[in-house]
Structure 1
């Protein structure tokens, strides 16, 4: 999307700060090496390293922004201010998008907000350095995002992000200042298949410069309620397509499997068959 009212300077500052971190000496970056984010930042490569069939060509920095504020002393200093500003901007955009998506479903505009879908946000930044043999690997394997909505920005090293359209892969052009919006598996489930999560991947980088992306994932924070198709979208003519579940169990399932197409929605589908 364009014309989103987020200043280009806020986007450029966030991307620039992340790029600066990833281009620091290894000794500095290893101060933040963790397999899980906790309350600070987690620097790693391939979060599904021990589950996937092959390693991908990228590094990752993850910061859990909410519902508990991160320990900023445990976040790289060059990223702190820029990520605070980026999170504020993204939160406003996320609320506006969710309101419009609710209206598109014919339900009240603040329904997703009521269900705490704005409250658990994770900022996940990827760094894709040039790969000497890009035909032998990928930057990020084919997958769908597990949450409600993902808001993503990237620098202008294009030709790498692709979305699946039927049986074909289409490039997502890197446009300065534009923002990519992904519908996640949870919104597909809650909408009872009215909205579809987008399967996407990132090719290994054959360019001279590094690709940098920042994705903010919106998830519910309410761990006690059951999530599934919204009652307003279930009827005798269109029964519920998915099982109900608690968000903690749902996310654990995502993080204990490899990235693999739309396997999460297929698992919770009531007939357990592929859509």
Structure 2
């Protein structure tokens, strides 16, 4: 695939599907069969809420101050959980609240206003849904707004909502702060991976940053649907803000589903596929999913940091030894990302394209 790094990339098509928020407005009691999951898919027997308190909490200020104990906690979090909540990150509470208010204002607009920002058939930027690749697949109970924020030249401003007052400026301010945290976090990940502090930043050549604002309407039968199907992120890292008062995000840990109970204004961080590949599987990009709520809508804000299309990703040599044979082959990141986006979200099956054949798990 030829890459022009000065042009905004096109990522992947997604089939048009009904708007879930509007569907709920018209008939809040109805759950169309296209969204209904069977009991096996819902995996209720594996729900372990009692493990929620064990999800690591990392203090960003302690990391920044060179606290080795906190750095060790970070390594354990990446190795054993692939997810952690981060406090004292320095993103102002007022800015987070403005992001919440502006996003809520956007999703409450009339449908004809929101449709002005609708995704085009061949790409993921804009308002709509992603990962819809077949007429037969079961759909997720959510709508999204997806924007590429950095580098600036990749922005497609026709998809940035103008109707919510100051939304563009709020998105820019919020994303800039999240990027600051993400870049510093990459330096800590470099250190725990036994690299020079700026190694991961240099590997990326240029850090791409996307934003996905997820809107999960209430559902009359939340036991039957998923807000977001189980998947791992194709990113390097993902930084998420979730609502303080609504449960939804669940992560897989040792075969169980564990809810991520919100800590007020904490950033929820997860390791992406890129870190898993670079670390030869030592640090896991963990499956996660989103549940819905019968009475409350939920909005979350996921910031994705990932390499440029032309970056080649493979395990670092020092992560490979007799006990840890090479699990992943070299992949061009742009090819890997598009391979994932052109499939429905289905656990971690999209990672098979990067695995050396004997490590592919057949399900």
User: CA offset at residue 154 of structure 1?
Assistant: 1.2
Q: Which residue of 2 aligns with 1:210?
A: 297
What runs of 5+ residues in structure 2 fail to find an aligned partner?
Answer: 1-85
More helix by share: 2
8 Å CA contact retained: 1:228, 1:244: yes
Q: Which residue of 2 aligns with 1:60?
A: 144
TM-score (norm 2): 0.70
Secondary structure in 1 matching 2:234? coil
What runs of 5+ residues in structure 1 fail to find an aligned partner?
Answer: none
Q: Which entry has the higher C-alpha Rg, 1 or 2?
A: 2
8 Å CA contact retained: 2:117, 2:158: no
User: CA offset at residue 210 of structure 1?
Assistant: 1.3
Paired with 1:104 and 1:240, the residues of 2 have a C-alpha distance of: 19
Q: Which residue of 2 aligns with 1:25?
A: 110
Q: Quickly say closer, same or farther: Cα 1:14–1:41, change in 2 above 3 A.
A: farther
Paired with 2:347 and 2:170, the residues of 1 have a C-alpha distance of: 32
8 Å CA contact retained: 1:161, 1:200: yes
Secondary structure in 2 matching 1:136? coil
8 Å CA contact retained: 1:139, 1:205: no
Paired residue for 2:199, among 96, 111, 121?
A: 111
Paired with 1:48 and 1:85, the residues of 2 have a C-alpha distance of: 28
Q: Does 1:100 align with 2:184?
A: no
8 Å CA contact retained: 1:124, 1:214: yes
Paired with 1:122 and 1:182, the residues of 2 have a C-alpha distance of: 15
Paired with 2:115 and 2:328, the residues of 1 have a C-alpha distance of: 41
Q: Quickly say closer, same or farther: Cα 1:72–1:27, change in 2 above 3 A.
A: same
Q: Does 1:164 align with 2:247?
A: no
Paired residue for 1:48, among 119, 122, 131?
A: 131
CA-atom RMSD in angstroms: 2.1
Paired residue for 1:5, among 90, 95, 99?
A: 90
Q: Which residue of 2 aligns with 1:226?
A: 312
Q: Quickly say closer, same or farther: Cα 1:73–1:269, change in 2 above 3 A.
A: closer
